[in-house]
Amino acid sequence: MDSDVASTSSRASSPEPEAAGSPQLLFEAFCREPAAPQQGPGGAGGKLRGGRKAQSDQQQQEQRLKVNSRERRRMHDLNQALDGLRAVMPYAQGPAVRKLSKLATLLLARSYILALSSSLQDMRRLLSELHPLARVRPVPASPSACSLAAAPGYLGFRAAPPEPPRTAAGPLGPFYRHSSGSPCLCSFCQAGPQELPGTAAAPACPRASK
């Protein structure tokens, strides 16, 4: 299916990380201009008298190429976002480590967020125990400040996070297990994901996925 010129094997193992990594770039990509007009080859008025059907076919072809191109770019943006997510994820990164799969990235991100939330709660509790008089001041309510603050699970100083659903599998789902006997040195395991709220004791190490 080589219907698109741009479909050359640009795959390799990493999908064109043009600007991957930086959240800033991620947002830039997210907010980027709405799909440059991308003229098809020949542009308008290429064929003058090719017959109505031929012209219609060509128009359809160009339309198809345009849609394909948009879809490709959309997927590239998605992959960039995933790369950005991987970049801030607590797992061993390096040339010798296999890149997290998309699914693993999402699952690990969820676990990481839950772990951070739990840590934050613990620290807050500790702080209030050490300094009973020093109350943690609530974040001034400013609805327009950040839409995240309105999210149900937002961990501001207002409400405790909702209990995450408990699943039978580990925080990364049923896909990830430690290979028995071999201690994992990745930062995720070092940090102790077993403290995740609402999860079983099953450690979740992305390196053990394969």
Partner DNA sequence: TAGGCCATCTGGTCCT
Partner DNA sequence: AGGACCAGATGGCCTA
Phi, psi values for residue 10, rounded to 5° = -95, 30
CA dist., res. 50 & res. 63, Å (int) = 18
Secondary structure letter of residue 193 according to DSSP:
G
Instruction: State the nearest-atom distance from the C-beta of 192 to DNA, in Å.
Output: 24
Smallest distance, DNA to C-beta of residue 105, A: 8
Question: Residue 60: helix, strand or coil by DSSP?
Answer: helix
Residue 75 as a binder of DNA (CB under 7 A): the answer is yes
Q: Which stretch binds DNA (CB under 7 A): 65-73, 119-127, 162-170, 181-189?
A: 65-73
Q: How far apart are CA 165 and CA 64, in angstroms?
A: 43
Minimum distance from residue 114 beta carbon to DNA (Å)? 21
Q: Which of 18, 165, 188 is nearest to 100 (CA)?
A: 188
One-character DSSP codes across 142-154: -TTT-GGGGSTT-
Quick one: which segment of 69-77, 107-115, 126-134, 156-164 binds DNA (CB under 7 A)?
A: 69-77
Q: Is 47 in the site for DNA (CB under 7 A)?
A: no
What is the total count of residues that contact DNA (CB under 7 A)?
A: 34
Amino acid at 147: S
Question: Which residues sit at the interface with DNA, rule CB under 7 A?
Answer: 1, 3-4, 6-7, 9-13, 15, 34-35, 37, 64, 66-72, 74-76, 79, 99, 101-104, 175, 209-210
